[in-house]
Chains A and B, each alone.
Chain A
């Protein structure tokens, strides 16, 4: 029997992937939108629904970013409400290990696991620096190196609490010194599913040690296979089997009646995602300086990026460019060679459209990725809220089912069971 594909639906969030200017775009706040996407995912027999978290609004040039979707509701509260309108769909929320406390978060996740009948999942992330800390009493208090220490001990602590079956616990490690009665009896999954996001060596090691699944970035198929191999090879030293950690990249897709039609649609979507104003802001994120005087339809700046990482132009978003000068030179060379404007170049280099084609072409590619060890499944990030998943569920899911690589009915009641995790 071929390997079964994991599918999850990401509720679009606060970045330029989400096209809010499309007349079909709905609210990113109204519960109707969440309910619609979750019901669509469940109609498509998806494994889980995935929500990101916000702790502060992003800023650029010292101003609140106003071009993309801004604002979102509280993750776990939305998931608890979605538990009422779905029956099989896993409910995964990003919850930050830096600005939550283990007792409180473990209690919330165990409660969600009970209230959903065993469908809770936690995507563990960490945050650096003082920017987010300005909204919390603990402030910005973690060095970069300590983030994974805290995250690892946070997960270990949560698991210890979940194992008490509501009873007494005492935890003392480098990050936490807590004790008392947990108060939540063992939940249907025992441990809610733990996802971890992060591509760095520290992130991979943390995932190999603690996570049930990795929410990775998409890679070209050869890079994806290398990433997959690297992470799965780390499991042995923790006494874990390869099947105990699922690798699920976040990907986007565009479907068309023909491959050419899909390409044309994809081009149109990219132009909506990268407006002239957005192009300048995205360029500033590499150049790390105010470029508002530049013409988005003109050439790239001749000056070099500002390398002072202690004062970046964007706040509230992870750094994306480890070597600004090198990347800038690559972009310049590419723009000159192909005679690209700033906007054209940004459309090319920030593109996140991974699977473009007919439904059968996309189904074939998904299958190839999973059967050849590039990943275990996909978290789909659509560009439209909340109807962006409709065409995938209606067109691609039946083809995956025909291939025998995706379920036609849920086989288990818990998320852990559906994912094939012990």
Chain B
């Protein structure tokens, strides 16, 4: 079976070229997406902006920045990610992150960090708000009806009227519905307690071997499960670390491919970088039929996710 392939980028450079070079390599190798790590307080550029910066220079690869629900306003998250989808013509995703780090909270002068349950309850609310805002414009809301002088049909815009324990958001969005309808939402799930809490499309998990991967897949029905794999040496992580030749790496991918995972997110290590992945590993996987590039341009379609249904449109038509 063919797998999906992604690369996790995590760099401390603020030079645009240091990002465009690897993302273009991933684009030319027709990988499905790249993720951009982010957190507050560390030495890293803002991931949404890095993704936007490379968007006009690439055509195929999905662009999935990390953004944090703990501190960033859901309204800002929603508009930034919808805009990334517009500027990339349907290639945007979002890796949801939460923060329990008091040092991050201090950067924003906010309250003390929430405990685990509340932190994820807040994240779940944030995802709900972001998704509702993406739906708050029906696809055909812009009518440009010269006869009546109306630019939009306001009946096709919807207040989301979200009211929760942590925030409330009125809506609608200021950004028309993004090209994918719903950009792809992903989350890292090291911890089993996360698995059922978030409404995401893609989970990144960290099994130690193929058997464990198969067990995780069985427990996450309806999700695209990607196995995180560090290739080429150590980076601080709890994902499985693999070192070896390209042939041995391809053997590993083949061995895990029957576990039911949707694909791999490869984390370049010290001595197996993006060039080695795109220049050596990907051709080898293609030769073995383990990876076939998707002809689709939009990320949802590349990943075989169902078409995004607009909840408000469905209600309006019911």
Contacts and interface: CB of A to CB of B under 8 A. Distances in A.
Which of A74, A114, A179 is most buried by chain B, counting CB atoms within 10 A of its CB?
Answer: A74
B46 A111 contact: yes
B149 A73 contact: no
Contacts of A55: 75, 174
Contacts of B308: none
Contacts of B104: 180
A135 B87 contact: no
Contacts of B79: 73-74, 77
Q: Which secondary structure dominates where chain A touches chain B?
A: loop
Residue with the highest number of chain B CB atoms closer than 10 Å, among A81, A84, A107: A81
Interface stretch (B37-45, B197-205, B239-247, B285-293): B37-45
Given A20-B144, A179-B106, A180-B41, A80 B49 contact: yes
Contact of A57 (B89, B142, B174): B174
Interface stretch (B51-59, B186-194, B223-231, B295-303): B51-59
B45 A111 contact: yes
B14 A117 contact: no
Contacts of A135: 75, 169-171
B45 A73 contact: no
A104 B149 contact: no
Contact of B52 (A67, A77, A180, A185): A77
Interface in A347-374: none
Contacts of A77: 48-49, 52, 79-80, 83-84, 87
Contact of B149 (A72, A179, A277): A277
B89 A112 contact: no
Given A71-B174, A77-B84, A180 B56 contact: no
A178 B106 contact: yes
Given A83-B53, A115-B50, A136-B73, A72 B175 contact: yes
B83 A185 contact: no
B56 A183 contact: no
Nearest to A180: B107
A66 B43 contact: no
Contact of A31 (B20, B43, B82, B89): B89
Interface stretch (B151-159, B206-214, B255-263, B269-277): B151-159
A237 B67 CA distance: 42
B152 A74 contact: no
Interface string B162-199: 00001111111111100000000000000000000000
Interface centre among A68, A73, A104, A176 (most CB of B within 10 A): A73
A115 B16 contact: yes
B109 interface: yes
Nearest to B84: A77
A81 B150 contact: no
A104 B70 CA distance: 12
Interface in A164-202: 166, 176-181, 183-185, 187
Contacts of B146: 21
Interface in A31-81: 31, 34-35, 54-57, 63-64, 66-74, 76-78, 80-81
B170 A115 contact: no
A186 to B, nearest CB: 10
Nearest to B72: A104
Nearest to A67: B149
Interface residues of A, number: 62
A185 B79 CA distance: 27
A103 B108 contact: yes
Contacts of A178: 106-109
Nearest to B161: A134
A99 B109 contact: no
Interface in B58-77: 71-76
A417 interface: no
B53 A21 contact: no
A302 to B, nearest CB: 26
Contact of B16 (A67, A72, A117): A117
Nearest to B137: A71
A51 to B, nearest CB: 11
Contacts of A166: 43
B315 interface: no
B40 A103 contact: yes
Interface of B is mostly: mixed
A53 to B, nearest CB: 9
Contacts of B54: 84
A83 B83 contact: no
B86 interface: yes
B92 to A, nearest CB: 10
Nearest to B50: A115
A277 B147 CA distance: 11
B103 interface: yes
Contacts of B40: 103-104, 107, 183
Contact of A278 (B108, B149, B157): B149
A85 interface: yes
Contacts of B154: 63-64, 66
Nearest to B105: A180
A183 B157 contact: no
A123 to B, nearest CB: 17
A101 interface: yes
Max chain B Cβ within 10 angstroms of own Cβ: one of A111, A177, A276: A111
Interface in B100-146: 103-104, 106-109, 137, 142, 144, 146
A253 to B, nearest CB: 24
Contacts of A34: 87
Contacts of B86: 29-31, 73
Given A77-B83, A134-B170, A183 B49 contact: no
Contact of A71 (B16, B41, B108, B176): B176
A84 B176 contact: no
B15 interface: yes
A155 B20 CA distance: 31
19 contacts: A29-B175, A31-B87, A63-B154, A71-B175, A77-B48, A77-B83, A77-B84, A78-B83, A80-B53, A84-B56, A103-B107, A115-B14, A134-B168, A136-B73, A180-B106, A181-B41, A184-B45, A185-B43, A187-B14
Given A64-B152, A84-B16, A181-B103, 8 more contacts: A29-B176, A66-B151, A81-B56, A84-B56, A99-B73, A115-B49, A134-B170, A178-B108
Interface of A: 20-21, 29-31, 34-35, 54-57, 63-64, 66-74, 76-78, 80-81, 83-85, 99-101, 103-104, 107-108, 111-112, 114-117, 134-137, 166, 176-181, 183-185, 187, 275-278
Interface of B: 14-16, 20, 40-46, 48-50, 52-57, 71-76, 79-80, 82-84, 86-87, 89, 103-104, 106-109, 137, 142, 144, 146, 148-154, 157, 166-176
